[in-house]
Amino acid sequence: MSSALKSAEQSIAPANNLDAFWMPFTANRQFKSRPRLLVGAKDMHYRNAEGDEILDATAGLWCVNAGHSRPKIVEAVQKQIAELDYAPAFQMGHPKAFELAARVAAMMPGNLDRIFFTNSGSESVDTALKVAIAYHRARGEGTRTRLIGRERGYHGVGFGGISVGGIVKNRMFFGSLLNGVDHLPHTHDREKQAYSRGCPEWGAHLADELERIVTLHDASTIAAVIVEPVAGSTGVLMPPKGYLEKLRAICDKHGILLIFDEVITGFGRLGAPTATEYFGVTPDIVTMAKGLTNGVIPMGCVAFDSKIYDAFMDGPENVIELFHGYTYSGHPMAAAAGLATLDTYKEEGLFERAAELAPYWEEAVHALKGEPHVIDLRNLGLIGAIELESIPGKPTARAFDAFLKAYEKGLLIRTTGDIIALSPPLIISKAQIDQVFETLRGVLRAVD
Ligand code: PMP
């Protein structure tokens, strides 16, 4: 076959040729031997290539907070692409990006009212870390370059994010990472916190480790501390009561910026606009993504305290203040999706709805106590975690089996290690909550 013909043939390769796509965070060989292809979605359900309805108990990947294919968002995106498809992000602008920034700023507590747009959670994290370092330098404190993350933290996959993150496999294959990073201990203790409802009572003192790190390096070398208020991807770990307050106080004492990574907790997951508001602890920087656009167009953002923005606004007026940004920062399509998403949250009262459903959800999660393999249950807002006892020598196997069995029964869950993580769209009904947990009960009884 001539090479021209061959390439023509390749370009019409059948949809069931799954070789070319190197899938992220996926067991590629397993998937390609038994693919799970989604072809449609509406409200609480996906539809797969076999025509089955799949109840979405994970809001996609913690992002589709308003449910799937919501008409207002679909319409806004369709209208936007016909009107203004793209506008240069540097030295030019378009109204919707400013409008969305103002809407997000209005949603944030305190002075977190300067919004920088990115395309993902990972980019939001790298933006936050870079700006934290540059902020100190702009104020004449250029020695403050060290960053402090936390064990079992997940902050995306950029070099900054994996350096401050605390997941061994996300770090160990990728070289020496960033210099000058320390980690706080994670806050989870299986025995002392077992079956906690909401935030555990035990563990606030773990924030004092920050004082030890400050003593070791001196505050004058430390730029920022980054934590997820609720750690999602590493097993759904709620902050011990009083822990975030302590971190805030220690950062204040030493002039260290506090960053909350709210990529999963932003936009209603806890029954409040943000975890910042839910916990009443205000950091200097908040990273977000996912729920900002309901997942329909990639977009993230970083909310900065206005003191940070102001520190960059000192020089000559016609000189670029911050040498950082993305071709697609504030993209018109994403901005349109974001505005329609925020409208949907507001019109349907979805954050309040999540708060109202949270007690029902909590009961449903904890009703799984005593089911086979279950060693812990956790919940907060519309987040749930079911921790399973691992099969010796085969960590992750049991939860992955549960994931496959749940999918066969028409339920989408997510697993991390041997932990099942649940985070449904905020439009879920009580009957659908019952369905999620009834299905899971059957699944737990069926896994090895
Ligand atoms: N930070 C946190 C807390 C996250 O949960 C995630 C994604 N799950 C990220 C950052 C990275 O986001 P993205 O995958 O959009 O880069």
Give the CATH number, domain containing residue 154: 3.40.640.10
Domain end (from 312, 347, 382)? 347
**Which pLDDT does position 15 carry in this prediction?**
54
Co-location of 280 and 402 in the same domain:
no
Ligand 1: distance of its center to the CA of 293 in Å? 14
- What mean pLDDT is reported for the chain? 96
φ/ψ region of 70 (left if φ > 0, alpha if ψ in -120 to 50, else beta) reads beta
The answer to whether 97 touches 301, Cβ cutoff 8 Å, is: no
**Which pLDDT does position 7 carry in this prediction?**
47
Ligand 1: distance of its center to the CA of 407 in Å? 23
Ligand 1: distance of its center to the CA of 232 in Å? 9
Whether the predicted pLDDT of 11 surpasses 70: no
Q: Which atom of ligand 1 is nearest to the CA of 228?
A: 3
**Mean pLDDT on 92-121:** 98
Co-location of 331 and 267 in the same domain:
yes
The total domain count for the chain is: 2
- Lowest average pLDDT, out of 249-253, 313-317, 347-351, 399-403, goes to 313-317
Ligand 1 surroundings by CB, under 6 angstroms: 120-122, 125, 154-156, 228, 232-233, 261, 263-264, 289
The CA radius of gyration of the chain, in Å to the nearest whole number, is 22
Whether the predicted pLDDT of 1 surpasses 80: no
Ligand 1: distance of its center to the CA of 156 in Å? 5
Probe residue for ligand 1, chosen from 126, 288, 290 as the CB with the greatest number of ligand atoms within 8 Å? 290
Co-location of 330 and 355 in the same domain:
no
Hey, how many other C-beta atoms are within 10 angstroms of the C-beta on 354? 26
Could you tell me the pTM of the whole model? 0.96
Co-location of 361 and 296 in the same domain:
no
What was the ipTM of the complex prediction? 0.99
The answer to whether 189 touches 236, Cβ cutoff 8 Å, is: no
Cα gap 415→440, rounded to integer Å = 13
Domain end (from 305, 328, 347)? 347
**Mean pLDDT on 48-66:** 98
In this structure, what token pair is assigned to residue 278? 């839910």
Cα gap 140→253, rounded to integer Å = 19
